[in-house]
Structure 1
Amino acid sequence: MASNGSEPVIGLTTYLEPSSFAVWETEAALLHRVYLDGVVRAGGIPVLLPPVSGAHDRLLSVVDGLVLVGGADVEPARYGQVPHETTYTRPDRDAFEFGLLDRALATGLPVLGVCRGMEVLNVALGGTLTQHLPDATGDLAHQPARATFGTTTITLAEGSLAASILGGETEGRCYHHQAVAALGDGLRAVGWAEDGTVEAVELPGPGFALGVQWHPEQDIDDVRLFAALVAAAKERREKGA
């Protein structure tokens, strides 16, 4: 059990990237602030989890919920493919996040996967990815241009966890060139873009394990997904799990 305070502690994974700030040119652990603002607005306390440790159980023992954030592509060897020319990876981050997710699912820790995070969830459970979505769809709707988000209308399955949070349809800010191909074991596809791209997956059952392909942190006025994660984390903590 992580904390006895009223606000659940939510761990968020981070990037290790070459960075420039103040007078420094160095590698840094980074995360877009909007993720942190989303957790705070939802009533949680955000904690950054950099990919520099293999102590997954110890790390998860101090948080009540986990967000696997967006970022680089998952290493294709993890799902039996060779890299597409557009695929870029961060193997150290893969090792860290797959380890965290394995322990989170084993212990029932609430998990929200965002974009890459949804892809990690799918691959971790034996699924595969379409490495370059424009090859399948013929357009750039899901990633219009460098550093430019698209807008996608997502239809959510009736009775799903995602629909219970967001209703039957929602608008998402998207920035992804990959997508779910074959679903991982036990996962259910529960959200689709108009072109059929899978935009949400979840593990059915009493726990909270939900992945969305879009970026909910980009709409700071709508923190329903973060609020649902925080609520699940608080409920689990209060039960003494």
Structure 2
Amino acid sequence: MQVMATSADGKILQDINSNICHMQKSPRYVKTHTVNIEKNSRLFSICGKKKIAVNSFHHQSVLECGKNFRPCAFSADGIIEAMENKKHSFAIGVQWHPETLFSSNKCENNIFTAFITEAEKARRFKNV
């Protein structure tokens, strides 16, 4: 997500100072804090929930998303936990690691399913 932001001229906070632990010591599959997803976002339409529990392995965060991106999920301390592009149908970055949670979590499964669906649409469009 930080790469997406910096490539769009966004800004990064180098070291998070918060009472929420964003660099968990627990195994990757353990959820350690919640994220609030904005209802008018693509991520909300994918996950179908306003609040989800996530894992957390980062000391940096996006401070400003940059050109054509907007924040779409936040932790309770105000850290941007997800962002999405305003113009592209599927350009979403998340701060947590859905790849380690997907086997038992509908939201994470839906993120990967939506990504695959959009990739298939793009491939079909290019082959037309």
Normalization by structure 1: what TM-score? 0.47
- Alignment of 1:160 with 2:41, yes or no, is yes
Q: How does 1:51-66 map to 2 (within 5 A)?
A: none
CA contact (8 A) 1:143 1:150 kept: no
CA contact (8 A) 1:141 1:150 kept: no
Which of residues 216, 236, 239 is equivalent to 2:98? Answer: 216
- Alignment of 1:129 with 2:12, yes or no, is yes
Cα distance change, pair 216–195 in 1 and its aligned pair in 2 (3 A): same
Q: How does 1:94-173 map to 2 (within 5 A)?
A: 118-134=1-17, 137=18, 139=19, 141-145=21-25, 151-167=32-48, 168-173=50-55
Regions of 4+ moved over 2 Å: 144-150
Q: Figure out how many residues of one structure are paired with residues of the other and give that number.
A: 121
- Alignment of 1:225 with 2:102, yes or no, is no
**CA drift at 1:147:** 6.4
The whole-number CA distance in structure 1 between the counterparts of 2:46 and 2:26 is 30
Normalization by structure 2: what TM-score? 0.84
**CA drift at 1:158:** 1.3
Per-residue displacement from partner, 1:74-125 (whole Å, max 9, x unpaired)?
xxxxxxxxxxxxxxxxxxxxxxxxxxxxxxxxxxxxxxxxxxxx11000110
The whole-number CA distance in structure 1 between the counterparts of 2:9 and 2:26 is 30
Q: CA RMSD in A?
A: 1.9
Cα distance change, pair 153–208 in 1 and its aligned pair in 2 (3 A): same
One-letter amino acid matched to 1:235: K
Q: Rg bigger for which structure?
A: 1
One-letter amino acid matched to 1:182: E
The one of the two structures with greater contact order (alpha-carbon pairs below 8 A, sep at least 6) is: 2
